[in-house]
Structure 1
C-alpha cells in the first residue's frame, strides 16, 4: 500500500478546474449580452429563426408524415441558424467596441485563418504619432496593415514595404491602410481583404519567409546608427588599445 498503488487512482481523478477559465455557458452568455447590447433586435431575429423553421417542420410533417422527425429537424435547423446569426451579431458588436482604439487592426488581424500567420506585436511604431504597422504572412506573401491617418500611414507603409522588399525580393508585399478614412479599410472588412489576396507561395516557402522576417525584425529593433558615422570605415583607437 505504498505510493505505487496511489498512482493508478490519480489517473481517474478529475482535473482541478482553473478558476481563471470561463466556461462554455458563461462565454455564450457574454456573447449574447454583447450582441443584445449593440443590437436589441438580435434577440427577436434569432427567436424568429427558431420558431420559423420549427413551423416549417410542422408543415413538412403534416404533408409528408412522421411529424416528430420533421419538427426536430426544423428545430435543429432553426437553432443552427440562430447560432450563426449570434456569431455575426457579436462580431459586429465587437468591431463597434474596438473602433477607434489603438491596436484594433492588430486584434482583428489576429483572427485571420486560412494559412495566415499574424505577428503578435506591431512591426513598426511611430514614437511621435503612435501610428502602427502590423504584418501577416501566408501563401499570399506578406501583408502590411497600417493604423493611422491616411497621409501618415501611406509614408509609413511605403517605408516598410521597401524594407521588406530588400529582404524578400521575390515575395509579393501587399500594403493596406486600416481605418475609416478615404481609401482605408474598416475593421469589418480587414479579414475579407486579407483572404482575397491571391496565393502564390507553398508551405515551405512561407516558412522560409518567416525565417527571413525574424532577421528583419531583429534589424529593425536595433538602435539607429548615429549620423555621420560609417561603420564600414570606422577605425579603432590604437592608443586606447595600448592602454594610454
Structure 2
C-alpha cells in the first residue's frame, strides 16, 4: 500500500515538473526563459530596430579572434591554449556590443511615449538609487517621476513643457517641505534647449554632485513615503509602455 502511494506521489511530481517546463517554454515572461533564449530574444528585438547590430557583433567577434590568434602564433603558444580563449573572448565582445545596442534600441523605441523615462531609470545602479514612477500626472499623461540617490531628490518631467513644468514646480515645493535642506533638482525630458535627452538621463543623474550619504538617503526615503501617502495622486487610466521585458532579457533575470 505504501509503495503504491509512493509511486503515485512520484508520478504526480513528474507531471508537475513536465507542466512547469512546458509553461516556461511557452511563457512570454523573460524571467522564465533560459539564458540562450534571453540572448536570442534580446538580439531579435534589437536587430528589428537597428539592423547594423549583427554586423557590429560579427565584426567585434572576428576582430577579437584575429588579435588573439596573432598573439598566439607570434608567441608560439599552443593552439589548445589560445583557441578557447579566442572563442570565449569573441563571445564576450559580441555580448557587450549587443548590450550597448539594446540600450540604444530601447531608447529609440520608447522615446516620446508616456512613461519612457523608465527606460533610463532602470539602468541606474539599484544599490545607490531608487525611483518612483508617475508621482504626479495630468489627464494628458504628462508625468513627473522621482529619483532618490547620492545627488539628492531628482524630479523628472515628461510631456508638454507648459503643463509639465507646472507639475514640476508644484512637486518641487511639496518635496522641499519635507526634504529639510536636501537638494531637490528638476529635469525635463526632451530635445529642446535646457532639456535632457532620454538617452542622456541616466548619466546626467549619476554625474550629479554627491550631497547625501547612504544613511541620509534612507532617512529622506522615509520622509518621502509619508509625503506620498498624504499627497497620493491617481494616475490616469490606461497602460503605460513598459520596457522591463527587454531589459530583463539583457540582464538575464
User: Cα offset for 1:201?
Assistant: 1.5
State yes or no: 1:116 paired with 2:129: yes
Q: Is the 8 A contact 2:114 2:159 kept in 1?
A: no
Give me the whole-angstrom Cα distance separating, in 1, the residues matched to 2:35 and 2:210: 36
Unaligned segments of structure 2, at least 5 residues: 235-253
Normalized against structure 2, the TM-score is what?
0.77
Give me the whole-angstrom Cα distance separating, in 2, the residues matched to 1:221 and 1:115: 25
Look up the match of 1:89: 101
What does the per-residue CA deviation read over 1:198-244, in whole Å, with 9 as the maximum and x for residues that have no partner?
A: 22222221111111111111121279xxxxxxxxxxxxxxxxxxxxx
SS in 2 for 1:66: coil
Give me the whole-angstrom Cα distance separating, in 1, the residues matched to 2:107 and 2:167: 24
Unaligned segments of structure 1, at least 5 residues: 224-244
User: Cα offset for 1:23?
Assistant: 2.4
SS in 1 for 2:231: helix
Look up the match of 2:56: 45
Q: 1:64 to 1:222 in 2, by over 3 A?
A: closer
CA-based RMSD of the aligned residues comes to: 2.7
Give me the whole-angstrom Cα distance separating, in 1, the residues matched to 2:206 and 2:104: 18
Residue of 79, 87, 100 corresponding to 2:91: 79
Look up the match of 2:246: none
SS in 2 for 1:135: strand
State yes or no: 1:155 paired with 2:166: yes
Give me the whole-angstrom Cα distance separating, in 1, the residues matched to 2:145 and 2:193: 20
Give me the whole-angstrom Cα distance separating, in 1, the residues matched to 2:182 and 2:44: 44
Look up the match of 2:241: none
SS in 1 for 2:176: helix
What does the per-residue CA deviation read over 1:66-112, in whole Å, with 9 as the maximum and x for residues that have no partner?
A: 24223332332222111110011111111111112111113431332
Higher Cα Rg, which structure: 1
If each structure's helix is expressed as a fraction of its own residues, which one has the higher value?
2
User: Cα offset for 1:132?
Assistant: 0.6
Q: 1:211 to 1:63 in 2, by over 3 A?
A: same
Q: 1:151 to 1:67 in 2, by over 3 A?
A: farther
Q: 1:28 to 1:118 in 2, by over 3 A?
A: same
Q: Is the 8 A contact 1:58 1:67 kept in 2?
A: no
State the number of aligned residues: 219
Q: 1:86 to 1:198 in 2, by over 3 A?
A: same
